[in-house]
Structure 1
Amino acid sequence: MKLFSVSAIALAAAMLVPFTAQASDKKYKLVLTSEAGDRESVLGGALRDWASRIEESSDGRIRVNVFYQGELGGQQELFDQLVKGNVHMMITWPQTSYDQRIGANYIPYLVMGWEDAIESFGREGWVRDVLEPIYQDIGLKYFGPFPEGFGGIATKGRYATSYEEAQGLKVRSQPIFPLPQTLQAMGFQAVPIDWAEVYTSIQTGVVDGDSSNVIYWDYEYFRDQLDYFVQSSHNFSSYSLLMNSGTWEEMDDEDRGIIDSAAIAVIDQQFENAKAEDDKWIAAAQEAGMEYIVPTPEQKAAWVERVRAEVWPQAEEALGKEIMDVVRANASVPE
């Protein structure tokens, strides 16, 4: 499977074809993908939307070939190919393998509610000011976030709303700093696993559940395996719209404007719809029999205190004092 994925990426990379040298007359075939989200998912729809807006605005001069989850490879492999320029665009959870500072996107208990999250992660928000130069340093153009909502802990057999109750529960974590460290601080045993391997890992008992995703992913993909979803809200789950800087820089201003405007439209639409979409899947999961648990304010406050005390110093060591000073100055005050 891996050999096929690499070959597919190599074939896809050949699609970046500028046919003429005149400004704004070049014809491109770009590759857009994500590690998650099938054709029918909200993320899959966003991929198509970004692609169609680009093609429409360029009168078909810039064509975008969309590949869905698993079609070109796994999470780390795809991010590697994006940095190299073999994949041109992604909506992805960026990996920290090239720069630990990308972990600023995943700092736990950064925001506490929807209003604060939208303000902080939005186009004029302080989170963008932190992230944009980091992406530039590793050769990526950052358009903005694709927000989904607040992540939780989905498990089978039993659930936890406290550090003590979480002891012995093994949950999958995205292999991105500081998400595994966050789960450990909450009392769980964190097992970093790539998205493509999560179902089998739950099914075979390697882990007891999934973590840090909004309920959509756990309900839609693992509903026959999971019994509970605890709305711990320890992370604000958002993908990022990214493009390889080499591809971006070789385009002229008109074509950059087309790509950027289309990205902004996709991001704005998702900010408008994200909470309602999350609420819809919370209701759907409950109707299907998954128990949805919201920790009490006291339970959440205990997690916030423990996680910030343990993980934020680790984040400062990995990301730098400058970033964490900005975080501490802007992060939500616990409710």
Structure 2
Amino acid sequence: MPIDPALIHLRPSWTHLPVTIDDPQLFRKSVARATDEGFEKFTLPGPTVSKRKVVQIGSGNEMFSAIVYWPATEGPHPVHLFLHGGGWTIGSAFSRDSEAVSRNRAVQGNCIVVNVDYRKAPEHPYPAPVHDLLAAIDWVADHSTELGALAGAITVGGQSSGANIVAAATLALRDEGRNDVSHQILEVPVLDLSHTIPREQGDELPLSLSDVHTFSAMYLNAGDPNDPLASPLLATDLQGLPPTYIAVAEYDVLRIDGEQYAARLRTAGVETRLYLGRGHVHMSPSMTRLLPSARDWQAATTQELLRANTALQDGTGRLLSNALQSLA
């Protein structure tokens, strides 16, 4: 199908990044203002949760914030760690959009959600955000009792660059022989920072290939784009990864990243589901007020999360994770 007709009139507002961003902090603040202003027009707020708390994870220069949300149902609950998008450079766990996603997942997914405000590039380049997610996973395990969490029941999810961080972290855990994560959700993921896979230029879309290059250069700094922790799609072996749900937008230069990763995961024997958001562009899945199809996208994602959490609560998810780990 063509791009959703409701998005066509927004095309004049689809601007692209400069080749270089001289003042990341100023740019970050400008984008945050615009994003929050657009929230009222395009996005539905999240539902009420029983409790919300800001916590600090890590120490010293490696400390970062996270927001924890609890559903109103009786626990203990599985824990879902969520990482927002923004090219590793912009965005925040405290943005209205991230808050809405986290609240929706806590209620509809029937789980505790930890919304990770990972450190941003270029001040904190690759692999700092990956380390932050790993630290957050360890923090959840260490604080499961006080969180009211179901021990050993962790899922992770990310959007765009957040999905890149999630995919990298699950690879790192697999390589360490750990099975902490039982399920991962990757939405509009960017998975090849070497830019060797064939992508469209996308100059007519809200996220162009040039934008992807600019963001990834800021994130990588001097890092190796061929390292699987930067480009999970380039990992030689994907066996032993947790069951994976990937959602891609039909009109997105990153669509091929998610589709190729899904195909490789299936070949490696990983349970994988692929969702295609027809008519969508990279940013439009968040437009739940404007687009019925965005609400469908969100419902499909939370249904997948609920399915994974239900399996964890009855024990089958953890048993499967342990069995897969023993075979890896």
Name the TM-score class by shorter chain.
0.3 to 0.5
Pick 1 or 2: higher relative contact order, CA cutoff 8 A, min separation 6: 1
TM-score (norm 1): 0.32
TM-score (norm 2): 0.33
Q: Greater Rg, structure 1 or structure 2?
A: 1
Higher helix share: 1
